[in-house]
Chain A
């Protein structure tokens, strides 16, 4: 009889640090009240840094722990590093905002820690039950964070919408899991993949229906068309730093989970799910490109932008090859960096009367704040995918993978959609550089904002000179998924 070993605990070290620290910080907050928000927030960032250090210290060997529920491999490592950085940046970004706008509640960083824990459980899931538990932990924390400004009608509406639609998607996910379990008799990813290896590629109809439901539930979590309807409303309604958080870490985690849940158990069935992913990818890219054109609110625009970007990332998954997965991982890392930077700048859009969110409020930014306009232009060019910025390479890797997998039509549609998408990113640049200035933004943007914008901007700009480490890490991670 084997009991819980220390080896298992060592594998889960970073998750345990986050869980224990979140509970300890909750205690600090409960006893000291909302005036401890700043302390709790910084300690949360410290926790995430410690978890990151532990994670990197653990190395990139593949370990399966806790009776096959949890897997630590290079793929999980890659996704977790991006998720941890994304969450840490999101907490730092929001500190000034939540104090200024009167939503400084100590629960906010604690809930982000729990959401991050859920994301780490998601990317390490090696079993359908563990997958669901991770998804729920992350989602539940996110619902609450979206509705955190409970006096604001828009914020509560966003939270409620997200909750109701999220519950629906969880239902679909669970239904899919139960069908898969019912038709195969196992929830473990390893047993599932072994099952299809043995039996050849002739799965039962019930299993395929289960797989479709599973993919639908996951598509909802990454807000891919046709399960995207919640994203624009939630992005617009939630407080801006929360939107910044939503756009980065949960998206990365959900996409990583998508990769693992589709590839690790079902890679032998690639012919069955490829067409679904191709459809979702095309629909997301096109909707992201066309629906964003008429937006006037920058947060709404970023929501449609993220729908489109998830479509591009899914192009890599549709390829179903290690090269495609590598492309998706690089895409996620670059997407995260660009979005953190862009949202840091959106968070500085504050006039004397308060926060503004209109795209027209950016008019003439180049004359009033040349540095901010410059960095914003870099992020917009990169999001549009214009070389030599990082965003171009992100798209390049996934499209090349699609072409090598023989999905020519998908790659062509992707390129065309990114041309359409470039229009609205460039419109923002045009408004910043060529329109007459309106009321200028409030001047000091805060030291931490400057650092974050500088870091992400430098990454976006200089990635072209030194792409090797990211590519190599993504390569190892992708190989681990196809073991």
Chain B
């Protein structure tokens, strides 16, 4: 138990500290790197909760894809972050107000658990001891609700067809890359050898 508690406090402390550094760091690249650190710590917290599937997904999707994408955007695009942060103090009251509202809501939720302990039971969904996370999620997604899952898939396909039908137009005069044409190109297609008579030029 002690090790778990130590791990919990370690992960939470680093998560909060690095989350703070995301908005406090001067260099945007450092911000993104701190963001990645936050994700890793959040994944650690998930593992402690027994939600190993979510932890892996967090690392794969957020660290592996989203954060790296951010990093690319930050490094590739020339965005002036100091200018973006210019009105930081100006928006501070609004941000603080939103934060306080969220805080109060959280307190309400926790408060109900304390004043009415039986309410907690209704919202609890304990982790199954017999099946792993992945198995349990798969059971829900691909067995219990397979109809809805497949239906949603077809729905997205229709959305894709619709977007293409309504927006794709074939434009004239656009040069396209044709890999087979490029690789099929021979020396004779590109180079012409001229015999130049000596002393005359071309």
Contact = CB atoms under 8 A, between A and B. Distances in A.
A binds B: yes
Contact of A3 (B143, B151, B158): B143
B162 A111 contact: yes
Contacts of A227: none
Contact of B155 (A69, A105, A136, A148): A136
B161 interface: yes
Nearest to A144: B162
Contact of A129 (B146, B148, B157, B165): B148
B109 interface: no
Interface in A133-165: 133-134, 136-137, 140-141, 143-144, 147-148, 150, 159
Given A114-B158, A140-B159, A133 B148 contact: yes
B145 interface: yes
Contact of B148 (A107, A130, A140, A147): A130
B138 to A, nearest CB: 12
Contacts of A136: 155
B102 interface: no
B113 interface: no
Contacts of B165: 105, 107, 111, 144, 148
Contacts of A121: 151
Contacts of A114: 154, 157-158, 161
Nearest to B153: A19
B77 interface: no
Nearest to A126: B147
Given A4-B143, A4-B146, A143 B155 contact: no
Contacts of A144: 158, 161-162, 165-166
B66 interface: no
B105 interface: no
Nearest to B144: A67
A174 to B, nearest CB: 14
Interface residues of A, number: 31
Chain B contact patch, size range: 10 to 19
B147 A137 contact: no
A47 to B, nearest CB: 15
Given A3-B143, A66-B146, A67-B145, A140 B151 contact: no
A129 B155 CA distance: 14
Contacts of A23: 157
B152 interface: yes
B152 to A, nearest CB: 7
Given A19-B154, A133-B155, A140-B155, A111 B144 contact: no
B166 A150 contact: yes
B146 A137 contact: no
Contact of A133 (B151, B157, B162, B166): B151
A134 B152 CA distance: 9
Interface in A226-269: none
7 contacts: A69-B147, A114-B158, A130-B147, A140-B159, A141-B158, A144-B161, A144-B165
Given A111-B161, A114-B157, A144-B162, 7 more contacts: A19-B154, A23-B157, A26-B161, A69-B145, A107-B164, A129-B145, A130-B147
